[in-house]
Amino acid sequence: MSIDIPDPDRRGFLKCMTWAGSAALWTVAGGIPRSHIIGQANAAETGFTFAQVSDSHLGFDKPANPNVTNTFQQALDYVTAMPEKPAFIIHTGDITHLSKPAQFDTGAQLLGATKLPVYTVPGEHDVLEDDRKSYLNHYGKGTKGDGWYSFNASGVHFVGLVNVMNLQGNGLGDLGQAQLEWLEKDVKGLSSSTPIVVMAHVPLWLVYQDWGWGTADGAQALSYMKRFGSVTVLNGHIHQIMQKVEGHVAFHTARSTAFPQGVPGVAQAPGPVMVPPGDLQKFLGTAKVTLVNNKTPLAIVDTPLAG
């Protein structure tokens, strides 16, 4: 598998659109796919499902969503009510808006109330203050370096990466040498049939260079996973769903639970997008990820909070 990253212009972006493989996903203005499945549509019930939430931006209180605590709660309520009880929740970063202790406390309280295990990776909004100590105090236990880690669950190997500490170029994520070396070693001993799930805040593949929506050394990280039959990369950061399947690797970005962001190539800037009153929940959501079998990417179903 190779990651095609050279073309930083609109053409490159349009190519990404093709990769997504679903015109509806991309072309509807403020596209709101109700659900979209990677892999097999009739995902077998294997008893192993986990939920992804992202970009809760606790502390944000501007008109795009004056009550992000409420919409995050709605997302978590949806997760805990899933008929196939998720094994755990992953949060792919920007838990808080400004890294304030009170914002982390709110997050811990809401996530804790689900009674489900929670795995997180930091977003750049989680490491604005205190040399990232607030984040690590809450979520750094047992992690390495800036907070990266791995674990196994139901035969799947999960890797949580940190790519927000040293933004590059236009704002591209960066993993750094120490983390890359750790990652190479981490996956080295695994059998090639082990399904891999990689979590990181900023997309590991290049979504849109102009806004720094990609990871400068993401291709290097993915090169360590070439030999695996099923790799699923789950990201946040861009507050909208984008997907790409390349060989055995499925890339997916989740909706935010707080507010939608501009669509690259359409919006002037990546700020919060105001949507008509009453419509906000259609733009926010969660993702459910199910292990189908270990030869294909995991099945992902995105669900908006309403609509």
Partner 1 sequence: MSVLTKAGVIARWAMLGLLLGAPLVPLVPMVAWSDEGTQVGIDNFKFNPNPLTVEKGTEVTWTNHDDIPHSIVLNSIGVRSKAMDTDGTFAYKFDKAGTYFYVCGLHPFMQSKVVVK
Which helix (H) or strand (E) segment holds residue 184: the answer is helix 177-188
Name residue 6's amino acid: P
The stretch among 22-30, 91-99, 109-117, 223-231 that binds partner 1 (CB under 8 A) is 91-99
Q: Which of 86, 270, 285, 304 binds partner 1 (CB under 8 A)?
A: 270
Q: Please measure the distance between the N-terminal and C-terminal CA atoms of the chain and give it in whole angstroms.
A: 37
Q: Does 62 bind partner 1 (CB under 8 A)?
A: yes
Q: Which of 5, 37, 128, 136 binds partner 1 (CB under 8 A)?
A: 128
Q: Distance (Å, rounded) from C-alpha 254 to C-alpha 233?
A: 11
String of contacts with partner 1 for each residue 18-57, x by CB under 8 A: ----------------------------------------
DSSP symbols for 22-86: -HHHHHSTT---S--BSS-SS----S-EEEEE----BT--STT-S-HHHHHHHHHHHHHT-SS--
Q: Which of 51, 91, 122, 125 binds partner 1 (CB under 8 A)?
A: 125
Q: Tell me which residue of 137, 123, 80 sits closest to 236, measured CA to CA.
A: 123
Q: Distance (Å, rounded) from C-alpha 121 to C-alpha 123?
A: 7
Give all strands of the β-sheet with 285-290 in edge-to-edge order. 118-120, 89-91, 49-53, 285-290, 299-304
Total residues contacting partner 1 by CB under 8 A comes to 24
Q: Which of 91, 97, 201, 252 binds partner 1 (CB under 8 A)?
A: 97
Nearer to partner 1, 124 or 302 (CB): 124
Nearer to partner 1, 48 or 208 (CB): 208
The stretch among 16-24, 223-231, 262-270, 293-301 that binds partner 1 (CB under 8 A) is 262-270
Q: Which residues form the interface with partner 1 (CB under 8 A)?
A: 60, 62-64, 97-99, 124-125, 128-129, 167-171, 210-212, 268-272
